[in-house]
Structure 1
Amino acid sequence: MELWQAMVLGGFYWFSFLGFFPHSINLLFYQPLTASLLVGLVMGDVPTAMIVGATIQPMFLGQTQAGWVITNDNSAAGIITASVVIASGMDIESAMAVAVAVGLVMSQLTNVRMTVGSFWNALTDKFIKNRQYNKLWLSTIIYPSLFKIVLYWIPMSLVLYFGASNIGFFVDGLPEWLQNGLGALASLMPIVGLCIVASSIGKKGYMPFFIGGFVFAAYSGLSGIGIAVAAVMLAWFDFRCQNKGEHLSINLKSTVSESAILGKEI
């Protein structure tokens, strides 16, 4: 990997933690699929990067956190894994194992940021107490952003520049039983993520959509784009029905009741 590529990708990693945008935008940049896309654009291999991103994205669907204690670093998993696959030609199964390890290790940087963040809070309180409101932008924007350069940008750039090509050889040198174990663990994580997402839907009435969509995707033979378009149209139709008080299940029930009443009248 070239130095400028490592610097650009390290800058994206830093950018994903800035938090200057709405929460939904921040989450978008934090996802492995988005991070992998940028890796592909920078390294000139978008198809491979998107395959890596789509493979490891389900692994992080069920990620939860308590009190802002981050257990996995999604952005680092996408950037480093996609870079390693493109630079060293690692297979996807081994890449999934790398994503698990990278996500766990790099998450400790965020825990460090949370600890140091208490200092910026104290400095903000000091400025407010002294009525130095013109300095609040220093403790809330400038100082935290500069610290994140040291915490995120520089380490990520160094890891990519010196290790993107070597991690693949390191993983290939692991014992076969350990590689198989990591591969099995990585294969289970997408299933766990999907199950957690399914259980968090909250409405039992939506489970038929989930199961039907899975069966449709497995046996229809359509591409991902076709399935996505069909899902969007179905979601739009159901949304319109609910807004009009005409939910599909309610319609069916009312239709049966009206038919019974008409039958009695006849």
Structure 2
Amino acid sequence: MDFQTLLMAFVMGFLYWIANGYFGYTLWMGLGTPFAMGLFAGLIYGDITTGIILAGSIKLIFLGVIAPGGQLPSDENIAAACIIPIALKTGMSTEVALTLAIPVAMLGAFLYNLKKIVNIRFVKMADESAEAVDLKGLWRSAFTWPMLTNFVLFFTPVFLVNIFGENVVKPVLAIIPEWLMGGLEVAGGILPAIGFAMIMIMIGKKQYIPFFIIGYFVTVVSQLNVLVSIILAISIACIIIFLKRELREGEPNV
């Protein structure tokens, strides 16, 4: 095991721990995200562009995922923390990496719910400390013990996957037939579109669906750069906003 792999495993595990530890008011929202994980993974392996592309693609898949009642159905953060480093090291395509991200995300949902079950004990301990006016005990119950528990639940699995994941994935990729690999790539290419579709359904604006279809196929067929696609989308959105404003005012600007 080389130092680079060990460093990657530690960083990804640490970022995923932050994502589920809610450190501060903004730290976990900035560092515990697929984009941060893609950036750090790219820096460690010397391929920031691919790391960001993988992170953005994973984010798109889970764009419409919500947690009703606090029950997380899938966890994009653990998918990014585990899949991006493995994809960068093994050289697998983005599409194949996305198909692997789905089952890993389901594992993250299991860990998230397990955390709630385990932490119930600390709630009772906090109540007992509050009744006894034990401020140190209250602090331990509210912060110290939950953080240590979260470390075991979230840091450890991501660390181990990054250490041993390559040894598992490489032999599997080697034995996958070409036709099946092609199918996985097609399926992986469709997954971001599904994420967008979920968002469109949540918004409930059927009139916006054609824009989604046009944007997706224009980007895929013409192989537009991501930055160019963003600029084009923003320009179209601005045109629509300006036209609507002129129609409301009743006096088009000349």
- Counterpart of 1:132 in structure 2: which amino acid? D
In the TM superposition, what are the counterparts of 1:41-80 in structure 2 within 5 Å? 41-80=43-82
User: CA offset at residue 54 of structure 1?
Assistant: 2.6
User: Aligned partners of 1:19, 1:166: CA distance in 2, in Å?
Assistant: 31
Query: CA 1:215–1:96 in 2, change beyond 3 Å: closer, same or farther?
Result: closer
Query: CA 1:233–1:20 in 2, change beyond 3 Å: closer, same or farther?
Result: farther
User: CA offset at residue 253 of structure 1?
Assistant: 4.6
User: CA offset at residue 153 of structure 1?
Assistant: 1.2
- Counterpart of 1:45 in structure 2: which amino acid? D
Which region of structure 1 is more displaced relative to structure 2, 190-199 or 130-139?
A: 130-139
Equivalent residue number for residue 101 of structure 1? 103
User: Aligned partners of 1:208, 1:91: CA distance in 2, in Å?
Assistant: 28
> Which residue of the other structure, out of 231, 241, 247, is the alignment partner of 1:252?
247
Alpha-carbon contact 2:8-2:85 (below 8 Å) kept? no
User: Aligned partners of 1:70, 1:120: CA distance in 2, in Å?
Assistant: 21
Aligned residues, how many? 248
User: Aligned partners of 1:146, 1:252: CA distance in 2, in Å?
Assistant: 58
> Which residue of the other structure, out of 154, 159, 162, is the alignment partner of 1:160?
162
- Counterpart of 1:252 in structure 2: which amino acid? L
Query: CA 1:52–1:138 in 2, change beyond 3 Å: closer, same or farther?
Result: same
Equivalent residue number for residue 226 of structure 2? 224
User: Aligned partners of 1:226, 1:48: CA distance in 2, in Å?
Assistant: 17
- In structure 1, runs of 5+ residues without a counterpart are 242-246, 257-266
User: Aligned partners of 2:164, 2:212: CA distance in 1, in Å?
Assistant: 45
- Counterpart of 1:21 in structure 2: which amino acid? G
SS of aligned partner of 2:128 = helix
Structure whose alpha-carbon radius of gyration is higher:
1
Equivalent residue number for residue 214 of structure 1? 215
User: CA offset at residue 136 of structure 1?
Assistant: 2.3
Equivalent residue number for residue 264 of structure 1? none
User: Aligned partners of 2:18, 2:195: CA distance in 1, in Å?
Assistant: 26
> Which residue of the other structure, out of 191, 195, 220, is the alignment partner of 1:193?
195
SS of aligned partner of 1:200 = helix
Alpha-carbon contact 1:71-1:107 (below 8 Å) kept? yes
- Using structure 2 for the length normalisation, give the TM-score: 0.79
User: Aligned partners of 1:177, 1:234: CA distance in 2, in Å?
Assistant: 39
Question: Alpha-carbon deviations, 1:87-108, whole Å to 9, x = none?
Answer: 1122223212211121122332
> Which residue of the other structure, out of 72, 90, 114, is the alignment partner of 1:112?
114
User: CA offset at residue 175 of structure 1?
Assistant: 5.8
Query: CA 1:148–1:6 in 2, change beyond 3 Å: closer, same or farther?
Result: same
> Which residue of the other structure, out of 10, 15, 20, is the alignment partner of 1:17?
20
User: Aligned partners of 1:231, 1:117: CA distance in 2, in Å?
Assistant: 44
User: Aligned partners of 2:111, 2:126: CA distance in 1, in Å?
Assistant: 23
Question: Alpha-carbon deviations, 1:133-166, whole Å to 9, x = none?
Answer: 3432211211111111111112211221122343
- Using structure 1 for the length normalisation, give the TM-score: 0.76
- Counterpart of 2:247 in structure 1: which amino acid? L
User: Aligned partners of 2:111, 2:194: CA distance in 1, in Å?
Assistant: 25
Question: Alpha-carbon deviations, 1:57-96, whole Å to 9, x = none?
Answer: 2111121223322222211211221111121122223212
Query: CA 1:145–1:195 in 2, change beyond 3 Å: closer, same or farther?
Result: same
User: Aligned partners of 2:71, 2:184: CA distance in 1, in Å?
Assistant: 24
Alpha-carbon contact 2:75-2:109 (below 8 Å) kept? yes
Question: Alpha-carbon deviations, 1:235-266, whole Å to 9, x = none?
Answer: 6898xx8xxxxx8536415527xxxxxxxxxx
Identical residues among aligned pairs (%): 26
Alpha-carbon contact 1:87-1:165 (below 8 Å) kept? no
Alpha-carbon contact 1:88-1:166 (below 8 Å) kept? no
Alpha-carbon contact 2:5-2:162 (below 8 Å) kept? no
Equivalent residue number for residue 128 of structure 1? 130
